Amino acid sequence: MNDPQPEAAKSPSSQGAEGYRVLARKYRPQRFEDLIGQDAMVRTLTNAFEAGRIAQAYMLTGVRGIGKTTTARLIARALNYTGSDKPTVELPEYGEHCEAILESHHIDVIEMDAASKTGIDDVREIIDSVRYKPASARYKVYIIDEVHMLSKQAFNALLKTLEEPPEHVKFIFATTEIRKVPVTVLSRCQRFDLRRMDIPTLVEHFAGVCKSEGATADDEALLMISRAAEGSVRDGLSLLDQAISYGGKEVRATDVQSMLGLIDRAKIIDLFQAVMKADAAAAIKELETQYEAGGDPVTILTDLAAFVHWVTRLKIIPDADEAGSRTQTERERGKAFADELAMSHLTRAWQLLLKGLQEVAQSADPLMAAEMVLIRLAYAAELPSAADLVRTAREQPRQPSPQAGPVSAVSAAPAPAAPPPGDVVHMPPTMHTALAEKAQDHSGEKEGVGTPAPVQLSTFQQLVDFVGQRRDIKLKTELERHVRPVKVAPGQLEIALEASAPRGLPGELGRKLEAWTGMRWIISLSQEAGEAPLDQQRRQQRDSLFAKAREHPDVRTVLDTFPGAEIIDVGGDDELVPVADLEIEPPLDDN
pLDDT at 517: 84
pLDDT at 397: 56
CATH superfamily of 38-193: P-loop containing nucleotide triphosphate hydrolases (3.40.50.300)
Higher pLDDT, 403 or 521: 521
pLDDT digits (tens, 9 = 90+) for 367-380: 999 999 999 999 88
Beta strands 522-525 and 109-113, pairing class = unpaired
* pLDDT grade for 512, boundaries at 50, 70 and 90: confident
pLDDT digits (tens, 9 = 90+) for 418-465: 334 433 333 333 333 333 333 334 444 444 444 455 667 888 888 888
Task: Tell me the pLDDT of the chain averaged across its residues.
Answer: 80
pLDDT at 452: 53
pLDDT at 578: 47
* pLDDT grade for 56, boundaries at 50, 70 and 90: very high
* pLDDT grade for 564, boundaries at 50, 70 and 90: confident
* pLDDT grade for 583, boundaries at 50, 70 and 90: very low
pLDDT at 70: 92
Where in the chain is CATH 3.40.50.300?
38-193
pLDDT at 430: 34
DSSP H stretches of helix in 341-456 = 343-362, 366-381, 386-395
* pLDDT grade for 191, boundaries at 50, 70 and 90: very high
Q: What are phi and psi of 85, to 5 degrees?
A: -80, 0
* pLDDT grade for 588, boundaries at 50, 70 and 90: very low
Q: How far is CA 413 from CA 73, 351, 583, in A?
A: 62, 17, 17
pLDDT digits (tens, 9 = 90+) for 203-234: 999 999 999 888 999 888 888 898 888 888 99
CB 269 within 8 A of CB 329: yes
pLDDT digits (tens, 9 = 90+) for 128-182: 999 999 998 999 999 999 999 999 999 999 998 998 899 999 999 999 999 999 9
CB 169 within 8 A of CB 143: no
Q: What are phi and psi of 175, to 5 degrees?
A: -155, 150
pTM over cut 0.75: no
- Write a three-state SS string for 452-477: CCCCCCCCHHHHHHHHHHCCCHHHHH
Give me the sign of the Cα torsion angle 220, 62, 10, 99.
negative
pLDDT digits (tens, 9 = 90+) for 168-177: 999 999 999 9
Q: What is the distance between the alpha carbons of residues 320 and 310, in angstroms, rounded to a whole number?
A: 9
Rounded average pLDDT over 41-58? 91
List CB contacts of 443: < 8 A, sequence separation 6 or more: 469, 470, 471
Higher pLDDT, 326 or 87: 87
Higher pLDDT, 503 or 587: 503
Least confident of 12-16, 80-84, 120-124, 386-390: 12-16
How many other CB atoms are found less than 10 A from the CB of residue 128? 10
Q: What is the distance between the alpha carbons of residues 361 and 521, in angstroms, rounded to a whole number?
A: 67
- The CATH architecture one would assign to domain 265-381 is Up-down Bundle (1.20)
pLDDT digits (tens, 9 = 90+) for 296-309: 899 899 989 989 99
pLDDT at 437: 37
Name the burial class of residue 20, with classes exposed (0-12), middle (13-18) and buried (19+) by CB atoms within 10 angstroms of its CB.
Answer: exposed
Q: Helices 280-292 and 366-381 sit at what angle, rounded to 10 degrees?
A: 150
* pLDDT grade for 410, boundaries at 50, 70 and 90: very low
* pLDDT grade for 7, boundaries at 50, 70 and 90: low
For 440, half-sphere exposure in the C-beta direction (CA atoms, 13 angstrom radius) is 10
List CB contacts of 483: < 8 A, sequence separation 6 or more: 460, 495, 496, 497, 498, 501, 505, 533
- Per-residue pLDDT for 518 more than 90? no
Where in the chain is CATH 1.20.272.10?
265-381
Q: What is the distance between the alpha carbons of residues 63 and 43, in angstroms, rounded to a whole number?
A: 21
Rounded average pLDDT over 17-44? 85
CB 58 within 8 A of CB 39: no
- Per-residue pLDDT for 324 more than 90? no
pLDDT above 70 covers a percentage of the chain that reads 80
pLDDT digits (tens, 9 = 90+) for 68-123: 999 999 999 999 998 888 899 898 888 888 889 998 889 999 999 998 888 888 89
pLDDT at 187: 92
Give me the sign of the Cα torsion angle 324, 330, 331, 335.
negative
Q: What are the CB-based long-range contacts (under 8 Å, 24+) for 295-300?
A: 295/261, 295/263, 296/261, 296/366, 297/360, 297/366, 297/367, 297/369, 297/370, 298/357, 298/360, 298/361, 298/366, 298/370, 299/261, 299/262, 299/263, 300/263, 300/268, 300/271, 300/370
Q: In angstroms, how far is CA 219 from the centroid of its own chain?
A: 31
pLDDT at 409: 41
pLDDT at 147: 93
pLDDT digits (tens, 9 = 90+) for 241-298: 999 988 888 888 888 887 877 677 788 889 999 999 999 999 999 999 888 877 889 9
CB 178 within 8 A of CB 148: yes
Rg (CA), the chain: 36
Rounded average pLDDT over 402-428? 40
Q: In angstroms, how far is CA 554 from the centroid of its own chain?
A: 38
> Closest by alpha carbon to 27, among 281, 158, 216, 211?
211
pLDDT at 388: 66
